[in-house]
Amino acid sequence: MNVYDPTQLAATALIDRVKRNLVNLKMPRALEILDVTLRGIERGETTALEAIDQLLGEEITLRENRRIRMALVMARLSAIKTLAGFDFAFQPSLGRNRVMALAELQFIDRAEAVHFIGPPGTGKSHLSLALGVEAVKAGKSVYFGSLADIVAALAKAERDGTLRERIRYFCRFALLIVDEIGYLAVIPGGGNLFFQRVNARYEKGAMILTSNRGFAEWGEIFGDSVVATALLDRLLHHAVVFQIEGSSYRLRAHADLLPEHIRAKAALNPAPVPATLKRRGRPPKNGGADHLAG
């Protein structure tokens, strides 16, 4: 003869209702650990209040991890890097404390530009990606792209008649990371387009820029010294500059296999900021869509 315990039946029905509510509230992690949590209460290992805190804490952690994963995808980060994974001992010229201070992300609140300048393989992209990850974790919107890709997107928008909308799109992000300035030649007119995008964010949004070429060479990169001067006028106004003087981290294990002239070139310092850089002209207030004054 079966004996039914009304108290047990009521408890079972209550647990089933809690589970249905967790499903309706889309709380999969809390649902997953509910039975284990209840057993902890039965054994006296957890109070009811602690159990509620545990369920909510696990669910929040799951949602936060999901948010970060989605935000990292939306940021278009080419790889997930961390500051903890950066070998500061290999690049002592950086100054670990200065870099770690950036992880507090105050430069984003101040709408500053951070420049990492140095030879290939010295960790510029790693640091920019790692700071992008820190910004995403902090709930800030991030966009990462190479200079070539960003200019190509702007050029396409100009052809499609949607340049203004595209520039506004880039202005939506709290942090814009521009990688690989100087690695590829900028397409004709690309410097003007990039200037318009930089000008739209000036003193409104933070940027991180990486380049293997010193600022004195930006006129060559963009094919126009006037455009380069106008860019630097804005990008160096509120700026933090890191000039990395080390050799390539990627080639460290094979340096003895490289010809002497390549080893020497890899260790060259980038050209310094020219002390006598002067304006030869300034793009008009409309962003220089038609032309730059000489």
Residue 275 is assigned to a structural domain of this protein: no
Q: Quick one: 149 and 249 in the same domain?
A: yes
Structural domain including 19 reads 6-73
If pLDDT is split at 50, 70 and 90, which confidence band does 284 have? very low
Write the CB contacts of 285 (distance below 8 Å, at least 6 apart in sequence). Answer: none
Asked whether residue 242 falls in the same domain as residue 107, the answer is yes
Q: Quick one: pLDDT band at residue 273, thresholds 50, 70, 90?
A: very low
More confident residue, 278 or 221: 221
Let me know whether 231 and 103 are in one domain.
Answer: yes
Q: Establish if 285 belongs to a structural domain.
A: no
How far is 242 from 74, CA to CA, in rounded Å? 27
Residues 199/205/209/214 CA torsion (nearest 10 deg): 50
Sign, CA torsion 82/85/90/95: positive
**9 band by pLDDT with thresholds 50, 70 and 90:** confident
Instruction: Determine the residue type at 130.
Output: A
Note whether residue 293 is domain-resident: no
Q: Looking at the structure, tell me whether residues 45 and 160 fall in a common domain.
A: no
50 and 69 within one domain: yes
Per the domain annotation, does 166 fall within a domain? yes
Quick one: what percent of the chain has pLDDT higher than 90?
Answer: 70
CATH number at residue 190: 3.40.50.300
Query: What pLDDT does 6 receive?
Result: 72
Clarify whether residues 90 and 189 are in a common domain: yes
Name the pLDDT band for 2 (thresholds 50, 70, 90). Answer: low
Q: Are residues 272 and 216 in contact, defined by beta-carbon separation less than 8 angstroms?
A: yes
Same domain, 93 and 162: yes
Say if residue 13 is in the same domain as residue 135. no
Q: Name the nearest CA neighbour of 228 among 238, 237, 236, 218.
A: 218
Extract the tokens encoding 271: 């050209």
Question: DSSP code of 205?
Answer: S
Answer yes or no: is 272 within a domain: no
pLDDT computed for residue 194 by the predictor: 97
Q: Is the pLDDT of residue 291 over 50?
A: no
Q: Does residue 180 share a domain with residue 40?
A: no
- Cα gap 294→82, rounded to integer Å: 43
| Residue finishing a domain among 73, 90, 112 | 73
Average confidence (pLDDT) over 146-156: 97
Give residue-wise pLDDT tens across range 227-265.
Answer: 999 999 999 999 999 999 866 554 454 445 445 544 554
Check whether residue 65 and residue 176 sit in a common domain. no
Same-domain status, 191 and 235: yes
Q: How many domains does the chain have?
A: 2
- Whether the pLDDT of residue 285 is over 50: the answer is no
Whether 221 is in a domain gets the answer yes
Confidence of residue 271 (pLDDT cuts 50, 70, 90): very low
Whether this prediction's pTM lies above 0.95 is answered by: no
Task: State the chain's mean pLDDT as an integer.
Answer: 85
Return d(Cα 260, Cα 280) in angstroms, integer: 40
As a whole number of angstroms, the longest Cα–Cα distance in the chain is 101
Structural tokens at position 267: 């260790």
On whether both 189 and 244 belong to a single domain, the answer is yes
Q: What is the helix (H) or strand (E) element at residue 210, kind and residue range?
A: strand 206-211
Last residue of a domain, one of 25, 55, 73: 73
Tokens 């159990």 map to which residue? 51
Strand ordering across the sheet containing 142-146: 142-146, 175-181, 206-211, 113-117, 239-243
